[in-house]
Amino acid sequence: MVAAAGSPSPLRGPVLIAGGTCELGLALGAALAADGMAVTLTARDAAGAARIHAALPEAAVLRLHAREPQRNAAGQDCSTPPAIDGAEAEDDTPETLPERARAALGEAPRLFVDLLHSRFECLLAGADPADIDLWAARDIAFRARLLRAVSRSMLAARDGRCVFVSSSAAERAAPGQGYYAAAKLAGEALYRAVGVELAPRGVTACSLRLGWLEAGRGAPFLQSRAAGAPLPPTRRTVTVTEAVQTLRFLLSAPATAINATTLTCDGGFGALKPAG
């Protein structure tokens, strides 16, 4: 175990962060690296890899993306973009990720954070069937494959921790967020299953619903909300630093008993009576 100076919460490493190109992923990676942890983050294309390298020059970057040919309702090709660093032959599937992470880190990851998400949002009845199929493949099936591969790789050491970053939209979705919320709920169910099935063998899991976060997809919403709109009981947004430190605790050894469950970090907004 490696602990930051003066920290009461020892961390086990190394760490694998899926979806590491987002603001929260980069901030979490930086915080864990400062704790002395070996960190690797995933990116789906060269642009994402460059974003990680710019923020975390010492971090290892692994490609992770669905390789199957895919087209949306408009007939646009949604298959894998050009490979990172020209490595066209790289196998970027979820099934190979644990072994690639082991090669990059020197040992298998003990900690795993799942930040993956798509931006598929539309009214439920307005979605094209082809887009629904693509959403289900990317936002549900792909996550199931990833969690299966990573959790299985942790069994040999009988020591692992998996944390899924969900959203408060899973409980209170706005119009147009039905598919997004459904994917998050499916993810929570998968991580709960890992916590139930694998905790006796040393692998625990939980989910963290974030809301009112001043980063990522929530930032534009918070900036555009009407004056006088309801605020959380804390009367402010959740900062990236607060989200990072919450995740850092959930990855720590003392948080192992927080297993097969979902926590919410939204300033208490979900506890309010819906407006109207």
pLDDT of 247 > 60? The answer is: yes
Tell me which DSSP letter residue 138 carries: I
Tell me, yes or no, whether 274 lies in a domain. no
Higher pLDDT, 230 or 242: 242
pLDDT of 89 > 50? The answer is: no
Secondary structure of residue 233 in the 3-state scheme = coil
The structural domain count of the chain equals 1
Least confident of 32-41, 86-95, 128-137, 204-213: 86-95
Residue-wise pLDDT tens digits, 105-119: 999 999 999 999 988
> Alpha helices, DSSP H only, in 41-141?
46-55, 97-105, 129-136
Q: According to the model, what pLDDT value does residue 104 have? A: 96
Q: According to the model, what pLDDT value does residue 76 have? A: 57
pLDDT of 160 > 60? The answer is: yes
Tell me, yes or no, whether 273 lies in a domain. no
Tell me, yes or no, whether 137 lies in a domain. yes
Local confidence band at 275 (pLDDT 50, 70, 90 cut-offs) = low
Mean pLDDT of the chain: 88
> Alpha helices, DSSP H only, in the chain?
23-34, 46-55, 97-105, 129-136, 142-154, 178-198, 218-224, 240-250
In terms of residue numbers, what domain contains 75?
15-267
Q: Which residues contact 126 (CB under 8 A, 6 or more apart)?
A: none
Nearest to 170 by CA among 138, 216, 132, 211: 211
Local confidence band at 80 (pLDDT 50, 70, 90 cut-offs) = very low
Q: According to the model, what pLDDT value does residue 86 have? A: 46
Q: Cβ-count burial of 257 within 10 angstroms (0-12 exposed, 13-18 middle, 19+ buried)? A: exposed
pLDDT of 85 > 60? The answer is: no
User: What percent of the chain is modeled with pLDDT above 90?
Assistant: 73
Q: According to the model, what pLDDT value does residue 91 have? A: 84
CATH code of the domain in which 257 resides: 3.40.50.720
pTM: 0.88
Residue 31 near residue 20 (C-beta atoms within 8 A): no
Residue 207, phi then psi, degrees to nearest 5 = -125, 150
| Rounded mean pLDDT, 18-32 | 97
Tell me, yes or no, whether 211 lies in a domain. yes
Residue-wise pLDDT tens digits, 191-204: 999 999 999 999 99
pLDDT of 87 > 90? The answer is: no
Tell me, yes or no, whether 39 lies in a domain. yes
| Rounded mean pLDDT, 66-89 | 50
Half-sphere exposure of 93 (CA within 13 A, CB side): 10
Tell me, yes or no, whether 276 lies in a domain. no
| Token reading at 186 | 């499916």
Question: Which own/partner pairs from 212-215 qualify as long-range (CB within 8 Å, at least 24 positions apart)?
Answer: 212/168, 212/237, 212/238, 212/266, 212/267, 212/269, 213/24, 213/237, 213/238, 213/239, 213/240, 213/243, 214/238, 214/239, 214/240, 215/22, 215/23, 215/24, 215/240, 215/243
Tell me, yes or no, whether 6 lies in a domain. no
User: What percent of the chain is modeled with pLDDT above 70?
Assistant: 81
Local confidence band at 74 (pLDDT 50, 70, 90 cut-offs) = low
pLDDT of 66 > 80? The answer is: no
Residue-wise pLDDT tens digits, 121-157: 999 999 999 999 999 999 999 999 999 999 999 999 9
Residue-wise pLDDT tens digits, 2-24: 444 444 446 778 999 999 999 99
Tell me, yes or no, whether 253 lies in a domain. yes
Q: According to the model, what pLDDT value does residue 272 have? A: 85
Residue 41 near residue 29 (C-beta atoms within 8 A): yes
Q: According to the model, what pLDDT value does residue 106 have? A: 94
Nearest to 162 by CA among 175, 149, 174, 178: 149
